[in-house]
Structure 1
């Protein structure tokens, strides 16, 4: 298949490499103003992929969008006239809140939402490390995408394990709960994920999870606080040596995804008139750090 990766950061580069190795024609769309881009995965030979080619984008069967959430709407607005109306658009990023905007922006395209637990680290601009095996979930965000379950076979053949989720919003909420717990704290304190096991963070983590659980339940998601706590604890231990994406953004003075993680939670909490003071304080703390720049 013809597949374009829009935003080849760590996760985008990882998928580009694996999809290429699986025999697909992979092209990139990036901020780099070059006709080609090199991508190396782990110790494998470097690939040279076409970059920013409007014709290749127009011929793509699948558009895999791995941009950070704050960039999704702006970039897709700029390139949508190059995207065929039948092309499947897949959003794969941390946080929630972009899908409704893209459904309005690109009403003809099947829109699929994705979440993955594969670990990827960008060692250098063109070098990505696959730092942890995981699972990828796909699900329909609009009616046309309900016919796209075939994508499981396409992606599973490239980088297993992949599954279709009929309630993808529920899976995204679980991922959001993990991000709300880990990302702001690690970013504020500039620590690795594993350091959240320290006693000083125990009460704060419990409060974050309790607040998120109440909002999830109000949103109609079957959430149990103890289960969420176990899930967060498992991720902290499994990724103990990793820096979260938000920690890296703050460390490098880049705009974070806080609006689409904790910010999305606050919007939903406000809608249901649920108090979430711990998450509100973390949101404000990240915003204050960003504003100091």
Structure 2
């Protein structure tokens, strides 16, 4: 099938690259430096199991999504509206948009903005852009997909491409489970500039993470969300399975970019306020990351 990846950063390049490697027609819609490198050398897919250059189309223009049956929607949550508007004139009426984004509200927002079917996916992968056109896979890679008219077909193709994929009727809960992990690690990794394995060794860090997670779970409960699995075990597993990974928030701040913190710890703060659940630990982390972002935008002394 033809697959378009809107916002082909680390996540989009990894999953798009895996599908292209399996023989699908994939176009990556990305920033100019990545498009140039991919056009010249192919996408370097540098994983834990292989390191290959995969031939794949790349463009800076949303019009490249024309005729795509599947669109992997991978932009930052802050860019959901603008990216959806850019895609709108070019999408086939029966295309499926699969949101591979952080946060818990993006698929719902896509359904508000576009007439095409949109489904959420929960992404468990450690990946980073190691250079133009070079995605480095540091661990895991599973997907959990929301049921849709095409979910079974899409899941089969991902599995055939080497991506463990399952369909779940409780993707909302799975998205919240991922949100809890992001809230526990992302801001702390960004503030300390440490990868997960070293982060959890810091004095008082695991207790602080416990406070963050407790607040998230309390907000989820008040919001009538059922989070699947053992949350505490899942939090511990991140540091064990991705010890060298820096959070996406840490990577954004290191590059002077705006992070998704408003859709992570910031969302917990907002939902906590609306539901009457105190969230002091998440509030502090949200405020600190926003302050660091402000410092970068004002050119303050480092």
Q: Please, what TM-score do these two structures have when normalized by structure 1?
A: 0.91
> Aligned with 2:27: secondary structure?
strand
Q: Which residue of 2 aligns with 1:86?
A: 94
1:237 aligns with 2:240: yes
Change (3 A) 1:261 1:23: same
CA-CA distance at 1:165 after TM superposition: 0.8
> Aligned with 1:118: secondary structure?
strand
Runs (5+) with no aligned partner, structure 2: 297-302
Q: Which residue of 2 aligns with 1:198?
A: 202
Q: 2-side partners of 1:179 and 1:55: how far apart? A: 32
Q: Which residue of 2 aligns with 1:17?
A: 17
Change (3 A) 1:192 1:278: same
Moved over 4 A (4+): 33-36, 52-56
CA-CA distance at 1:156 after TM superposition: 1.2
Q: Which residue of 2 aligns with 1:170?
A: 173
For the 8 Å contact 2:20–2:54, the answer to whether it is kept is: no
Q: Deviations over 1:262-289 (max 9, x none)?
A: 1121222122111111101111111111
Runs (5+) with no aligned partner, structure 1: none
Q: 2-side partners of 1:235 and 1:114: how far apart? A: 19
Q: 2-side partners of 1:76 and 1:279: how far apart? A: 29
Q: CA RMSD in A?
A: 2.0
For the 8 Å contact 2:29–2:59, the answer to whether it is kept is: yes
Q: 2-side partners of 1:131 and 1:48: how far apart? A: 21
Q: 2-side partners of 1:201 and 1:150: how far apart? A: 42
For the 8 Å contact 1:73–1:98, the answer to whether it is kept is: no
CA-CA distance at 1:79 after TM superposition: 2.1
The partner residue of 1:97 within 98, 105, 108 is: 105
Q: Please, what TM-score do these two structures have when normalized by structure 2?
A: 0.89
Mapping of residues 105-116 of structure 1, within 5 Å: 105-106=113-114, 108-116=115-123
The partner residue of 2:158 within 155, 165, 175 is: 155
Q: Which residue of 1 aligns with 2:74?
A: 66
> Aligned with 1:63: secondary structure?
strand
Mapping of residues 1-293 of structure 1, within 5 Å: 1-32=1-32, 37=39, 38-42=42-46, 43-52=51-60, 56-106=64-114, 108-140=115-147, 145-146=148-149, 148-194=151-197, 195-223=199-227, 227-293=230-296
Q: Deviations over 1:236-266 (max 9, x none)?
A: 2211111111111112211011011111212
Q: Deviations over 1:83-122 (max 9, x none)?
A: 112100011012222223211111x211111112122222
CA-CA distance at 1:185 after TM superposition: 0.8
CA-CA distance at 1:129 after TM superposition: 1.9
For the 8 Å contact 1:138–1:163, the answer to whether it is kept is: yes
162-171 or 25-34, which deviates more: 25-34
> Aligned with 1:117: secondary structure?
strand
Change (3 A) 1:59 1:147: closer
280-289 or 188-197, which deviates more: 188-197
